[in-house]
Amino acid sequence: MIECSKCVMNDTIREFSLNSKGVCNFCEDWEKKKDYFTNFTDEQIKKNLNSIKSEIKKFNKKNNYDCIIGLSGGTDSSYVVYLAFKMKLKPLIIHMDNGWNSKISNSNINKILEKTNFDYKTLILNWKEFKDLQISFLKAGVPDIEILTDHAIFAYIINFALENNIKYILSGVNFATEHSTIPSWGWRKDDFSHIEKIHKKFGKEKLITFPKMYPFKKFYYEKIKKKIKVINLLDFINYKSIKAKEILKTNFDWDDYGGKHHESFFTKFFQGYILPKKFKIDKRLLHLSCLIRNNEINRNEAVQELKMPNLETQKTLEYENFFKKKLSLSDDEFKSIMLSKPNKHSDYSLDIYNNFIINKIMSITKRILIK
Ligand SMILES: [Zn+2]
């Protein structure tokens, strides 16, 4: 196996390559962009947050809320809520229940809401529809099933923001701990047409209530009409996830749930068992590499962590049984999902969104409009 000398990315990742110094393309990309998202002085961070606050406060003073935050109970979104609390913003918190939340994430959410006294709204996904979608994606054999959850909350928040004239959406998406998108591991989360294509082929239920969003719609309201603006708040503060956890513990009595995005049982089992076993994808490579580049851990600590099993070995069977029971999958169905050939997301895309020229036009227009 060929590995990067700086991080723990390796050649099990299709997009991985090394330069003559033994440093990978992901580390090179990080070096190019890091000054834009990290390395702020304390003074700059203060300035960044003040200017975001005054921009948000200036817009629509009559509304009860000046922004929306989606809260999963995990580190990043919890920390965004913490910052909004410190910045004295008036957010509406939207939390989604997709049926898989862990006890820890629910208790984190309750603790945060109690302490901040922020208003909140819970979006409960229709379980029949969501379950049918998850089974469809499992049968399609594509690696990024989390798109379903990400799409639902994202689409719901944007549609809600548009209907209620709330321009600002504060997001926990961040460069520091989520740098390096790997195209072969995922798909864009704003593309309902992709979800629909897979569901039409493998699903049984009618999708009536599942929130929907399309890239062009988001682009139109965000970049042309300027009715919504998504701010990745953590990109303005030298975000460190380990430190963020400590601050959350101190301020909200928040509990850690282990691995990245393990706040949901589905994510834990999917990332810890199905992804490595079926797709030979170990997401820890990406998360740990980010922590190394972000100076939160050293390479040796990451190597030690990777020696640990992806999911607690003694609990694998218990988790598998719970997973099958919750999705009403028989032993044979689960076995055939695990043994069938992995497929690519692009096998199920509308060509238009997969088109190089269209994506190029969208990104150039975006750049011009941002300037
Ligand atoms: Zn690297």
CATH number for the domain including 338? 3.40.50.620
Rounded Cα–Cα distance for residues 259 and 144 (Å): 17
Determine the pLDDT at residue 235: 97
Determine the pLDDT at residue 101: 87
Measured CA to CA in angstroms, residue 314 lies from 102, 103, 299, 317 at distances of 19, 20, 27, 7
Determine the pLDDT at residue 256: 86
Determine the pLDDT at residue 254: 93
Give the Å distance between the CA of 4 and the centre of ligand 1. 5
Angle between helices 241-252 and 75-86 (to 10 degrees): 60
* Assigned domain for 12 exists: no
Give the Å distance between the CA of 18 and the centre of ligand 1. 8
User: In terms of residue numbers, what domain contains 167?
Assistant: 42-370
Give the Å distance between the CA of 284 and the centre of ligand 1. 13
- Its pTM stands at 0.91
Task: Determine the average pLDDT of the residues in 215-239.
Answer: 95
Give the Å distance between the CA of 22 and the centre of ligand 1. 8
Determine the pLDDT at residue 192: 94
Domains of the chain: total: 1
* Assigned domain for 32 exists: no
* Assigned domain for 15 exists: no
Rounded Cα–Cα distance for residues 270 and 264 (Å): 10
10 Å CB burial of residue 264 (0-12, 13-18, 19+) is buried
Q: Provide the mean pLDDT of the chain.
A: 92
Q: Which residues surround ligand 1, an ion (CB under 5 A)?
A: 4, 6-7, 9, 24, 27
Torsion of CA 51, 371, 215, 28, to 10 degrees: -90
Alpha helices in the chain (DSSP H): 25-37, 42-58, 75-86, 103-116, 127-140, 147-163, 175-178, 192-202, 215-219, 241-252, 265-269, 284-293, 299-307, 316-326, 331-339, 351-354, 356-370
* Assigned domain for 248 exists: yes
Would you call 94 helix, strand, or coil by DSSP? strand
Rounded Cα–Cα distance for residues 362 and 371 (Å): 14
pLDDT at 360 over 80: no
Give the Å distance between the CA of 176 and the centre of ligand 1. 14
